[in-house]
Structure 1
Amino acid sequence: MTLTAALLDPILRANPARPLITFYDDATGERIELSGVTTANWAAKTANLLRDECDVETGTTVAAMLPAHWQTAAVLLGAWWCGAHVVGTPAEADWVLCDGDRVDLALAAAPSGGVVALSLDAFGRGLDGLPAGVIDYATEVRSHGDDFVPWEPVDDSAPALDGRSIAEVLDTARRRAGELDITPTDRVLSMAEWSSSDGLVDGLLSVLAVGASLVQCRNPDMGRLIARAAAEKCTRRL
């Protein structure tokens, strides 16, 4: 079973319409809410894009030069659905997924496959003026399907995150959820970054691994957090 299936299948069986990821960006005023179904649809679209256009499969290395953002969650889940190995060093990756501000850095890493650039725009606008060969995620992902089935089974011993296998990442995420006191009924307010594997496990995977709900804040206005936590009915804070 892929890491994505292991994370999302129990959520989709239990309560697919429940808010799974609620994203705020206080610099732009953006608020986006994704249910379990919507998250799975975005992950499936991404997985189809990565498999069909980038040949991402089990063992393909992928690096994410991206902030803690709902689209980052979608592309990581999509990559893991293909069986990809997410690594923290772009120079070691076959493909680099980056935001528009880091396209040059991604190209400088010289990934053997290429670069997929995300605008992170709330309305799905793409990026203008991309260098030749760089894939514009927002433009290309629209044409891909909302369902995904790997062509071949992915063994849980396959590497998933910085050398750790799918089984090890799942075990770590569940253990960290326990240590952070996150339960399936919790709604977790977080400002944590996902730039390291430990940050990604704590800030995203531990929440998904137990079927909790995440309220992720980017560029947080600290003066709004108490009211936001109350309005979103948050029960935990990272």
Structure 2
Amino acid sequence: MALKTLDIPAPAQLRPRWAAFAAVLAARGWGDGCRADDARWHYDDGGGNWLDLHHFEDGRALIVGHDHEYSNTYYGPAAEYFQEEETDLLAGTPAWWEPPVRVVQDAGQWVGFVYGFEDGRWQCAPYEPDDGFGSVGLPALNAEMTVEFVTEYTKESPGRQAPPSTAAIEALIAADCLITEDLLTAVIGPQPATPTAWNPSAGVAAARAFRAWPRHRQ
């Protein structure tokens, strides 16, 4: 069977929003939950649900992840462990999809979904069960989600008396990972000189870690 084409933004479209949210979390001191580690972009919800986007030199990319509540796909060791029918997440897929998946499995993690990006589109194997991708809740999927998440996560900033404006968040996103402390401060608010203050410079560094990828803009 042919691979299924998915309605997910290209990596270059995801990057500005992913980087903006990473900046806010890093400034708050929660940078591990949303970050760029060279060619791997990571997001998790803090509750055990996660996904990684792996970049390749020629513009290809791979998303691998799992939602422990809503991934109804049981791939490899998970099928045996849970005594469920296996969903082959790599059925009919190119060979280059497999190595990152094997790394995750070798680390003892379950895999609920695997999506490959090539020739301008995301695809997955032709399976039917809900794989949990949507419930992981990646904020970068669209601007509305990013604005919503940033607004929610800045509520407790000691520099904010009211939610940030949508215009300030949109300006942070528009910087496409090349944000400045001024842009970030407009979102998190001017920080007081106290131990609980957030760190704008950490946020700027986190956003700029997304700069190197993708090498080829889609």
Q: Tell which has more relative contact order, 1 or 2 (C-alpha 8 A, sep 6+).
A: 2
Which structure: greater strand fraction?
A: 1
Calculate the TM-score normalised by the size of structure 2: 0.31
Scaled by the length of structure 1, what TM-score is found? Answer: 0.30
Return the index of the structure with the highest Cα Rg: 2
